[in-house]
A and B are shown apart, each in its own frame.
Chain A
């Protein structure tokens, strides 16, 4: 029983990290129908920036965290303006390739600037646990979950209640109609990239303490995030987060209770789960099947 709760909490913590990156993927997908392959590497790169602020420039964790969020946001906007926007009229294939190119460049750049050597990334949370009824609840798990969910909540409030947030939602639904109402959809797309980059940064900074900081750190997380986004039904932000949490819990439970499933098999298992769910429910658990008029 105690193992169950401990596994649950770890699962929720991992799941929050996946969900955050999944939300980033869905944000960009909803607005542009493009999967940003570079989302993970953007997160990794910004995490390196945070690391650099902490270890080379004497920042303490939280100031570095917020500074990195800001830098990530600006970086995301800049990337959309410079790399993605010129390809607006190109085929989807070309845009996807461009995000792949970005993936490669960021990965190489991180190794080049900071070396591929494993780095230690500090966690803002103490490593101790609370003990409730015999169950050890890791403070780090709770902290991670809390931070990610807080960011997601702030973003939700933005989209729900502000004029700009509404405009972004409208622009994603029907960009032509939005433009006729005076909305500068092009800039809102850039904003979307900015938010996605910030979400990615959160994901990266929360996962780095556990998996250690390397240029390839986020590749597996990207897959989990994708699986979560698809499980949630690609166009649903709520689904993405819920999918992430669900996937995190499921993977941890499987790893704990099903013995052949060791840590090396975690990724193939996630992929298998994804494929199975899609065979049964092609639109994802929360998604609706989109009927398009031809």
Chain B
């Protein structure tokens, strides 16, 4: 299975403070990979390093091609959709306008029907101002918007943040659907290790900016250190 995304010894810093120290990881085609770790471990920074929102050194390879210091726009055009922490929806625009923005890079008329199959409830909320949606609805909108861009890889930053457990499960269910039916690869950053490991095939555990552990989801669930630190039992 060819690696869709490959990080090779990637480091990143915020000003003088180093946040990542030589991270290496891969995401294969059609895989769901989870990135776990405590607060400040560097999970979000890893996603930002890929999407070009933070300065990085090291190599980021997408589908065999190196990304050279590309900014977010170029990374998006390379087929990577990044749903950031806080979802990044355009609160003052309507649901429909948000979706149209998702399809911005696409040529011709975008196929909204297909997207709406996964998010049928969006149809009835077309003209609602996006900022008035609930947290879970906003997360779904962000997902739908990201999907409309027809990415090869979806990067999700803490989708469960601020959401009730039931809603979180629904979000992950849709992500799973997109992965199975559309072959969409997913790199998901999560503090909720349990639900992430349930959805993912493989996972990496980050600690203070470096990869501490990696393996299949089963392996990590069985791992004592992971269990006590992140799964709470």
Q: B-contacting residues of A (Cβ < 8 Å)?
A: 163, 166-167, 169-170, 173-174, 176-185
Contact = CB atoms under 8 A, between A and B. Distances in A.
B89 A179 contact: no
A266 B207 CA distance: 66
A176 B101 CA distance: 13
Please list the 10 inter-chain residue pairs (A to B) with the smallest Cβ-Cβ separation, ordered nearest first.
A177-B88, A182-B76, A179-B72, A182-B105, A180-B82, A173-B90, A170-B90, A170-B101, A184-B73, A180-B72
16 contacts: A166-B93, A173-B92, A179-B71, A179-B72, A180-B53, A180-B76, A180-B88, A181-B102, A181-B104, A181-B149, A182-B76, A182-B77, A182-B105, A182-B149, A184-B73, A185-B73
Given A176-B53, A176-B72, A176-B84, A181 B101 contact: yes
Contact of B89 (A169, A177, A184): A177
A181 B76 contact: yes
B93 A173 contact: yes
Interface centre among B73, B93, B97, B102 (most CB of A within 10 A): B73
Given A163-B100, A180-B72, 15 more contacts: A173-B91, A174-B90, A176-B88, A177-B88, A178-B101, A179-B73, A179-B76, A180-B53, A180-B82, A180-B84, A181-B76, A182-B73, A182-B104, A182-B149, A183-B101
Interface of B: 51, 53, 71-73, 76-77, 81-82, 84, 88-93, 97, 100-102, 104-105, 145, 149
B105 A181 contact: yes
B51 A180 contact: yes
A84 B89 CA distance: 27
B83 to A, nearest CB: 8
Contacts of B72: 176, 179-180
A166 B151 CA distance: 21
A178 B82 CA distance: 11
Nearest to B131: A173
Give chain A's interface secondary structure class. Answer: helix
Contacts of A183: 73, 101, 104
Contacts of A180: 51, 53, 72, 76, 81-82, 84, 88
Contacts of B145: 181
A181 B91 CA distance: 15
Nearest to A173: B90
Contacts of B149: 181-182
Contacts of B92: 173
Contacts of B71: 179
B91 A163 contact: no
A286 to B, nearest CB: 14
Contacts of A174: 88-91
Contacts of B89: 174, 177
Contact of A177 (B77, B90, B100, B105): B90
Contacts of A177: 84, 88-90
Contacts of A169: 90, 93, 97
B93 to A, nearest CB: 6
A179 B48 CA distance: 12
Nearest to B76: A182
Contacts of B82: 180
Nearest to A179: B72
B88 A166 contact: no
Contacts of A170: 90, 93, 97, 101
